[in-house]
Structure 1
Amino acid sequence: MRHDAQSHAGARALKIARRLAAAAGLAALMAATPALAQTYPTREVTLVVGYAAGGTGDVIARVISDRLAKKLGKPVVVDNRAGASGSLAASYVVKSAPDGQTLLVGQTAEISINPFLMKIAYDPQADLLPIALAAVVPLGLVAPEKAPFSTVQEAIELAKKTPAGLTFASSGIGTPSHFATDMLKAKSKANFTLVPYKGAGPALNDILGGHVDLFFSGLPAAVQNVRAGRMKLLAVSSAQRAASLPNVPTVAEAANIPGFDITLWVGFFAPKGTPAAIITRLNTDINEIISSPEVKERFLAEGADVHVLSVEQTAAFTRAESAKYKGLIQELGIKLE
């Protein structure tokens, strides 16, 4: 009996000791978490963009990078890793150390489209942690300055009556520009031939050179050339007209296609396992940057709509976008060619 009592007492003591150790460990972790955010970052921070320089994500990343460097006290550089509609960059970040030093400037395709359209080496919802949403951007339907059409309807009519039709650039297979092109083609019955590029920058260069007929570009990447008269802006892809370009019609209006609403968005993501304190600090810093009058006015002037969201709201936004594009893929029958 004495031996049993001693055994029970020993077991209880062991359980208590384990609980105290666990509580002490948790307390130490909680105490260390704020300190971790205060010491972060320890070196240069890299913002990885999945497209060539000159596209919307690249423009937004570079606007934010200098200002983020001032807040973090360390250099912040932009690394363009174009390919597979942003998936190469996302895969690179997923495999990076979860220490907040390497972040993805993620866009619609690599987060909310590619998982339903192609084989990729990562799961955006499981392998990447949302940090913040920087901007939601309408696509501008642009054409070369000397194009023989000036409206969406004129382009559609020309594509129908020309045997070869018109060429339509996209910033990559599965990107919002690809979706907008396929939707316009399906609804208008026009003869458009898709020409995919590795980002908006190269596609815009070919619009400027007159080597391709049309392109749905993120407005921030195109608006300066439009205002300088180097290319035509026929319409915007969003449901509402852009606040900075109120005289430019929507595609829904110009082509009489109700419900036409495709946008590009840009957000920040970290590899899974990145400490919550770092995610929270980056969310705060990025939201302060995009909320500043200077940055907000610049984004709005270029057609980008600023959204200040919490980490949880950013995660909910990306889930909703994924559900939206999964439905569109089924509706439009989009497949890799």
Structure 2
Amino acid sequence: MKFPGHILLKTIGACAALALGALAHAGAGDDYPRQPVQLVVGYGAGGGTDMCFRALAMTASKELGQSMVVENKPGAGSSLSVAYLTRQAPDGYSIAALSTGAVLNQFLNKSITYDVQKDIQPIAMVAQYQVGLLVRQDAPWKSLEDVIRAAKAKPKSVAYSTAGVGTPQHLTMVRLGEAVSADWVHAPYKSGPEAITALLRGDVDVMAQTAEWVPYVRDNRLRLLSVFTEKRIAAFPDAPTLVEAGYTLVAPSILGVIGPKGMDPKVVKKIDLAFKRAIDTEQFRNCADQFGLKTDYKNAEEFTAYIKNTVDEWSPLIRSFAAD
């Protein structure tokens, strides 16, 4: 069967266009990266998340062969940075740090429009935060039970700082308060360093915060009363967990790298491998030790499942808290 010449030419042209498009798409992943990569961190400069991602970015840049520029966009428990990321092109040139607050805050704050399970591409999990409850060294309280007794004896007399509303430490303190009938006051800040400064300055009585407090405990400016982890933190074996104290509470913990939804799988894999190698460096190990992070690598698929499990476990509690 013969086709008219003009139909045959159109058919050949269409096939050629499809082939070129497929080659261009494949080439986009093969050639990545061709320009610097923006890494957005949802907390202020100088905190543990910021400092350790800068350490990771140094090695990841070398692995990718392009510079990685860290930009701080703090606010709303790092949810502002994730909302920003979801508006960027899924080409791998805008990625972000994902923390637990940004995963769970969408169930707490109605102004957050992204869906962490639909609008982002998990790339790699790098670590877990380790949360603790602390007071100043000159505080009269020597244990978690001392703080609870004070809060119950005089409602709203005990104020505690965190790095923001919706952070794991905030949510855990809410649940702990409910469990022991303690009415304490939350004082949210934009970053861990600000929360620490508030405690040192005496603006608050207690702090529930990720382990950016490590150097302050080591130099005896702060006292660690309890930790919100499954097991005691190896570097601070004298601080009991909430579970040991009789409360079935462990703070959710996520720290990883994400991109916008729709990224080329080849690009995801390249970034994943770059951060996997960056974790196993002296720079990151030193930073993790300084700020009390627990290294926990998961690839893109494992990280996606971990996020889902965290949402499934915590979102019902957060929704009930938001409805109160």
Deviation at 1:21, TM superposition (A): 6.3
| 2:49 alignment partner, SS class | helix
With the length of structure 1 as denominator, give the TM-score of the two structures: 0.85
Q: Which ranges in structure 1 are unaligned for 5 or more consecutive residues?
A: none
Alpha-carbon distance between aligned partners in 1 of 2:12 and 2:53, rounded to the nearest angstrom: 51
- Size of the alignment, in residue pairs? 324
Structure 1 residues 13-22 or 96-105, which shifts more? 13-22
* Conservation of the 8 A alpha-carbon contact between 1:141 and 1:216: yes
What is the TM-score when the length of structure 2 is the normalising length?
0.89
CA contact (8 A) 1:139 1:217 kept: yes
Corresponding residue for residue 148 of structure 1: 140
2:269 matches 1:280: yes
Match 1:108 to one of 100, 106, 114: 100
**Structure 2: 5+ residue runs without aligned partners?**
none
Query: 1:80: Cα distance to partner?
Result: 1.6
Q: CA separation in 2, counterparts of 1:120 and 1:86?
A: 11
1:85-118 deviation line (CA, Å, top 9, x unaligned): 2221112222223332221111111123324542
Q: Which of the numbers 301, 318, 322 marks the counterpart of 1:329? A: 318
**Which residue number in structure 1 is paired with residue 226 of structure 2?**
235
Q: Is the 8 A contact 2:162 2:207 kept in 1?
A: yes
* SS state at 2:297 partner: coil
Question: Map of 1:33-182 to 2, 5 A cutoff?
Answer: 33=28, 35-37=30-32, 40-43=33-36, 45-115=37-107, 117-182=109-174
Q: Which moved more, 1:18-27 or 1:314-323?
A: 18-27
CA-to-aligned-CA distance 1:235-256 (integer Å, 9 cap, x gap): 11012111222222102223x2
Moved more, 230-239 or 157-166: 157-166
Query: What's the counterpart of residue 213 of structure 2?
Result: 222
Alpha-carbon shift at residue 122 of structure 1 (Å): 2.1
- SS of the aligned residue for 2:56 comes to helix
Q: Which has the larger radius of gyration?
A: 1
> Per-residue CA shift, 1:197-241, capped at 9, x if unaligned?
11222111101112111121111x111111111111111101211
**Residue 253 of structure 2 is aligned with which of 250, 255, 264?**
264
Residue by residue over 1:20-72, the C-alpha shift from the partner in whole angstroms, topping out at 9 and shown as x without a partner, is: 86466535643x255323xx1413x3221112234332232122122223323
The residue identity in structure 1 corresponding to 2:124 is A
| Higher mean displacement: 181-190 or 98-107 | 98-107
% identical equivalent positions: 27
Of 188, 205, 223 in structure 2, the residue corresponding to residue 196 of structure 1 is 188
- Determine the C-alpha separation between the residues in 2 that align with 1:315 and 1:119: 24
For residues 117 and 102 of structure 1, the distance between their equivalents in structure 2, rounded to whole angstroms, comes to 24
Report what 2:200 is aligned to.
208
* Residue aligning to 1:183: 175
Letter in 2 for 1:35: D
Cα contact 1:243–1:303 (8 A) shared by 2:
no
Corresponding residue of 1:248: 239
Distance 1:201 1:162 in 2: 28
Deviation at 1:12, TM superposition (A): 10
